[in-house]
Structure 1
Amino acid sequence: MIRRFGEAVKPEQRYRRRPGAYAVLMREGQVLVTHQSEPNPEFQLPGGGIDPGESAIRALHREVYEETGWTISSARRIGAYRRFTFMPEYEIWAEKLCHIYLARPVLRRSAPTEPGHRDVWLSPEEALDLLANAGDRHFLLGVLRGN
């Protein structure tokens, strides 16, 4: 059974399954996150939806680059969680199936290419305080504790 974080499931609501790949990115004691300005300003683990026919690893590399401008290496899956939420940018209710990876940021090749995103380096304590969703915080805490 995959752990669930976030708001309660609304039994009357139909949800569209939306798999995604997200990364805990550590380098020199800092955490690389993305700040998304719209539709709701928030700090997040970089990542996003897996496109049809795309592997989770390929999506992870693409999404991290789009949201941070960084390339990554050594991606290793550390778990997954579910989150039921409304996605205003797509106007859908989604069952997000979030695959979480630990990876190493290697090289910043550009500014983020995804509109409304910026890359931000935070201390682990700041990241735990600022990450918008409990699932992201759970997996970052697990990495910090060596789990």
Structure 2
Amino acid sequence: MIRRVGEPPKAGQRYTRRAGVYAVLALAGDVLLTHQSAPVPEFQLPGGGIDPGEHPLRALHREVMEETGWTIAGARRLGAFRRFTFMPEYDLWAEKLCTVYLARPVRPLGPPTQPGHSAVWMSAADAAAHLGNAGDRHFLMQAMARA
């Protein structure tokens, strides 16, 4: 069973299942996050949706690159969570199935290519306080406890 975080599903609301992959990217005690400026400013673990037919690890590399400009290596699965949310950028009520990996940031190749995203380094403690959802916070703290 996959842990649910956040609000329970709203009675009578139809949700579209949306699988995604996300990364805890730690280096020397700091964590690389993405800041999404719209529709609501929010710090997030880098990652996003898996395209049809795309392998999850390929999606992870693509999403991290798009949202941070960094390449990654050594991805290891930490676990998964699900949350029910409205995604205004897609005008979609979604059941997000989020698989989280621990990976090593290797090097930046340039700025993020995803509009409205910026790469932000901060301490793990600050990151835990600023992340926009409880699932991201849970897996960040789990990864930091292992380090």
**Could you state the TM-score of these two structures normalised by the residue count of structure 1?**
0.98
Q: Residue 4 of structure 1 corresponds to which residue in structure 2? A: 4
1:61-100 map, 5 Å: 61-100=61-100
Alpha-carbon deviations, 1:38-80, whole Å to 9, x = none? 0000000000000000011000000000000000000011100
Unmatched segments (≥5 aa) in structure 2: none
Which amino acid in structure 2 is aligned with residue 142 of structure 1?
Q
Which amino acid in structure 2 is aligned with residue 27 of structure 1?
L
Q: CA shift at 1:144, angstroms? A: 1.2
Alpha-carbon deviations, 1:108-134, whole Å to 9, x = none? 000000000000000011001000100
User: For the aligned residues, what is the CA RMSD?
Assistant: 0.9
Q: Residue 34 of structure 1 corresponds to which residue in structure 2? A: 34
**How far apart are the structure 2 equivalents of 1:87 and 1:128?**
22
**How far apart are the structure 1 equivalents of 2:124 and 2:78?**
18
Q: Residue 21 of structure 2 corresponds to which residue in structure 1? A: 21
Q: Residue 137 of structure 1 corresponds to which residue in structure 2? A: 137
Which amino acid in structure 1 is aligned with residue 36 of structure 2?
Q
Q: CA shift at 1:95, angstroms? A: 0.3
**How far apart are the structure 2 equivalents of 1:144 and 1:46?**
16
Please state whether the residue corresponding to 1:145 is helix, strand or coil. Answer: helix
Q: Residue 46 of structure 2 corresponds to which residue in structure 1? A: 46
**How far apart are the structure 2 equivalents of 1:53 and 1:143?**
29
**How far apart are the structure 2 equivalents of 1:19 and 1:67?**
17
Which amino acid in structure 1 is aligned with residue 57 of structure 2?
I
Which amino acid in structure 2 is aligned with residue 30 of structure 1?
D
**How far apart are the structure 2 equivalents of 1:139 and 1:87?**
21
**How far apart are the structure 2 equivalents of 1:7 and 1:108?**
35
Unmatched segments (≥5 aa) in structure 1: none
**How far apart are the structure 1 equivalents of 2:91 and 2:138?**
27
Q: Percent same amino acid at aligned positions? A: 66
**How far apart are the structure 1 equivalents of 2:2 and 2:31?**
25
**Could you state the TM-score of these two structures normalised by the residue count of structure 2?**
0.98
